[in-house]
Amino acid sequence: MTRNARIDPETVTVDVLPPAVILCEPQLGENIGTAARAMANFGLVDLRIINPRDGWPSEKARAAASRADHVIDNVQVFDSVEAAIADLRFVYATTARSREISKPVRGPDEAAQTVCGHGREGHKTGYLFGRERWGLNNEEVALADEIVTLPVDPNFASLNIAQAVLVCAYEWRMKATRGALPFRVDEETHPPAEKEDVVRLFEHLESALDNVNFFRPPEKRPSMVLNLRNILQKANLTRQEVKSLRGVIAALERRPTRPRREEPEGRDDE
């Protein structure tokens, strides 16, 4: 088990150019909006729409985007796939079924790796998503470099556009940030115990148990001690947790729970 330092949100800056998301002839403004929200969750901002059925701008899209206004405000509308991808270096077509096309098929993780490779060099890339009902046609797929598909259960493969965008955006961010999370265990608030403190805890517990004649028969004491020490080691204790457990033992011993003499004063302030 690894303890990880808390990551300050300010430090999770991504120096990889994010891919564009290109929606081909979406019918519902809601889907455009939920796709925009999914993009914003993982740091994507470049949304392009080809011939939206209900026109643009769309109040339904803005409402469904749940305050991803920076994505909605920057939407670009195009009248062909060729125009929408013209400035991109590498394009993935997302499809949910096998095609009569000989083109490499990647999972979202592999695609994200490729897209991040280009993005690290400052080159623009994009993911092309098809219509709600029938996806992309073969001529549109032919304009892409590779195909990306999701590892869905073949018995229940229907994924809406925002969900497909979400998974691609998630994988992009995982690769772009190398898995950085918005927070981990906060080592400043929860510093791990030094081994010296852990050993003192062991000894405190064992001496308390000696006092009540817990280790019987005496020849079993070594293996019983080992078991107890292994249980406590597994808990990967913090400094505060060691103190709490020593208080617990002292309370069960019916001893006062003030700091023990061997602990130097002011240790809490470290």
Q: Nearest approach, Cβ of 81 to a copy of itself (angstroms)?
A: 21
The single residue among 190, 220, 260, 267 that binds a copy of itself, judged by CB under 8 A, is 190
Alpha carbon distance 17, 3 (integer Å): 30
- Specify whether the CB–CB gap between 113 and 146 falls below 8 A: no
Cβ atoms 75, 52 nearer than 8 A:
no
Among the candidate windows 50-58, 183-191, 199-207, 219-227, which touches a copy of itself by CB under 8 A? 183-191
Which of 86, 156, 231, 265 touches a copy of itself (CB under 8 A)?
Answer: 156
Residues 89/116, Cβ–Cβ less than 8 Å: no
Interaction of residue 247 with a copy of itself, rule CB under 8 A: no
| Binding of a copy of itself by 154 (CB under 8 A) | yes
**Position 249: which residue type?**
I
Specify the DSSP class assigned to residue 131.
B
When the beta carbons of 43 and 215 are compared against a copy of itself, the nearer one is 43
Q: Is the peptide bond before 182 cis (omega within 30 degrees of 0)?
A: no
Q: Is 232 one of the binding residues for a copy of itself (CB under 8 A)?
A: no
Distances (CA, A) of 197 to 58, 203, 210: 62, 10, 20
| Position 166 contacts a copy of itself (CB under 8 A) | yes
Query: Is the Cβ of residue 44 or residue 84 nearer to a copy of itself in the bound state?
Result: 44
Taking a C-beta distance cutoff of 8 angstroms, is the pair 48, 76 a contact?
Answer: yes
Residues that bind a copy of itself (CB under 8 A): 1, 3-4, 6, 9-10, 12, 38, 40-43, 66-68, 96-98, 100, 102-105, 107-109, 149-159, 163, 166-167, 170, 173-174, 177, 179-186, 189-190, 236, 238, 240-241
